[in-house]
Structure 1
Amino acid sequence: MDQPATSQTIDTQCVIAGSGPGGLMLGLLLARAGVDVAVVEKHADFLRDFRGDTVHPSTLDIIDQLGLLDELLKVPHTQAPRLHAEIGGKDVTIADFSRLPTRCRFIAFMPQWDFLDFLAREAGRLPNFHLVMSAQVTDLIEEGGRVAGLVARTPDGSVAIRAALVVGADGRNSVVRAKAGLEVESFGAPSDVLWMKLSHQPDDPPYTMGHGGPRQGFVMVDRGDYWQCGYVVRKGSFAGVKEKGIEAFREAVAAVSPLSADRVGEIRSWDDVHLLSIRIDRLRRWWRPGLLCIGDAAHAMSPIGGFGVNLAIQDAVAAANILTAPLREGRLADRHLAAVEKRRAFPTRVMQKIQLMMQSSSRKRRDNAARRSGPPAFVKGIARWPVLAHLAGRLVGLGIRSERLRL
């Protein structure tokens, strides 16, 4: 296979494409264990709005195992020991973390750029960790039937980074998985989310996360001085929403938001509205010789419950546990990559199944006019049997299979 010309070549043991939560966590863990690792990021910084900003109890446990929890909790954040839903005018606790067998029995709502800055800063203290910003992956290097590195375009020209392992942690639009030719199984999604910001006022509802409207989903995340709000629409319907005009959109948001109606005037134009196209998919196989995908690059999730960030972190921990010694000792084999997939495939399939069931239930409910009022059945169940809120808290907070460091 012909390789593109490059102006610079870097040799390392592992190169990770993508500096999201999974990529940076894996880079930090490998570097701490003595593996030389490079993380490449296509952007110049981490400052992007409307990303998954939940740091789950299982992730906080990993940070605690690293001895970094006290420092992380100095970063501005909001702690949510419970998640609430406002549906049909009723406040329902839909997830309660107070009984989790963890030190941190809460979700930390923290701007993802702050969380990533924290991980990058801690990893940057290690001499064998290298973060390359403004580096867009353009190709893979292949030799003898296996991936042997990647090529990235930087402001100073193309750079070839050769490594025993390439990790694709570059999200749901992963260049790595596309270039590797890995087959994707798509499960679709009936909805998209339109994200926006609304100011936070002293007399606002005390929700860390809210969900309003009997027929239209509306999500609110407390960011301190503003609400991050998500308005759920049918898949592919954003163009139709825009055709009706910004005033009609403001009225629709006001109808389902628990905030004062005049607040929607802060949505001044469509520039203040950001489309998140939801999809659920996963790779049929997460790896090729010399290459592994984790996080959204391996399994794109719906934003429901913030599971995507949590799964990416858990993937990173499992990968570090399994791959550190083979990488450090120069004996990485296909069976090690397969072991990571085997370890993480089951919790991924279960969480995606749960999300698909929730979406299917919501779709059937919308299609049945007789059931359009009141909260969904699963919320009614949680309201009737509070113990279910604790079970939901365990599912959201810890996931199906929590990973612990074994390095």
Structure 2
Amino acid sequence: MKLGGHLATTFPISSIIDKKRILLYPAASGSAYLLSFLQDAFPGILRNIIGLGDKDPNKTSLRLDRLKIYAADTLAALRPDLVLVTSNSLFPAMREELCGQLGPDVPILLADAIEEYLAHEAKQSLLAQKMLGAPFDGDRDAPADNGWFHCMPLGGGRYAKSYKGVLTYRMLDQIRLPRDLTGKTVLDLAASDGFYSFECEARNALSVTAVEGPGWENPAGLKRFLHARSLYESTVKYHNARIEAFIDAPRHSYDIVLSLGIYYHLQDPLSYFAKLHALTNDMLIVTGRTIAATIHDPIHMPYDQIHGANPSMHTGRAASILLLSDRKIGKWTANVACLLDMLHIAGFAEVDVAFDYCPPGSFIASTAIVAHK
């Protein structure tokens, strides 16, 4: 299969500038980021945005107070001439849902595919900037499916279709990844397609090791990583291993350890952080979902308001909460205070919140924490 089949179908902002009734969907963090970008780069198009659609119309409005949130089942009455879906991972399902409501004549496009928006977010990536100057070879063999997790740069301003979309690049700022990693050794746990491994290499890391278990147990997942490794002419080392097994038998320590979106999948997060402390020479970067700071007492809230999470453990002071979850996405959900406590208990001397954002109307936040020994 040719690589061209794996490209996001991008389009310039000029191709939608004539649309007069643009609707954003859903009313979540993706819409907030898009509105912020448009306000700075293309303020003229804002007057054409008639509002946001969402299954929950009672969410707090995002960024621009004049925009109203409309219930999903009322959108046809608004007569939009374009819908921009701002959730990359849910785009296929949302497109099908919206087509059923609005009919086949209303274009439903992915906001992440706006060329200027993608280029703006990718500016943070040294890997993406390097690949801008690399020729795109559409005849080069690519993996046999479109299941990319990261929005991998493929050369010549082309990008792979992916689950994470522009969030792949936005996270670079959120996790405060140093721009110069000269002389540093890096361990990237749950590397998936390997974007952050290759990004660290582009930032001049001395050596980078990528570890992935479930994602590479499927041959297609490992094939995507190896394809990217070849495309970037990378020397990143890689281990096809479960994270628990890898950190239980460490062969080396690393200056920087990346633990992005892992802790809540593990059976014992505190033990996990203690083992990472032993592996880390300098800095650990942790990201994951957390209980939003707006929840004052989740122990006594209805379970369904915390996305099905069940109270399991209270660490002894009101600010630190860890919940056991039966959701498929993971086993645990902590609030930020609990994550900070666990990292301190694990032995890290300095622990700082780098990023913490909760979409309006949600009880689950996205958090990044940087810990130093």
Q: Could you state the TM-score of these two structures normalised by the residue count of structure 2?
A: 0.27
Bigger relative CO (Cα 8 Å, ≥ 6 apart):
1
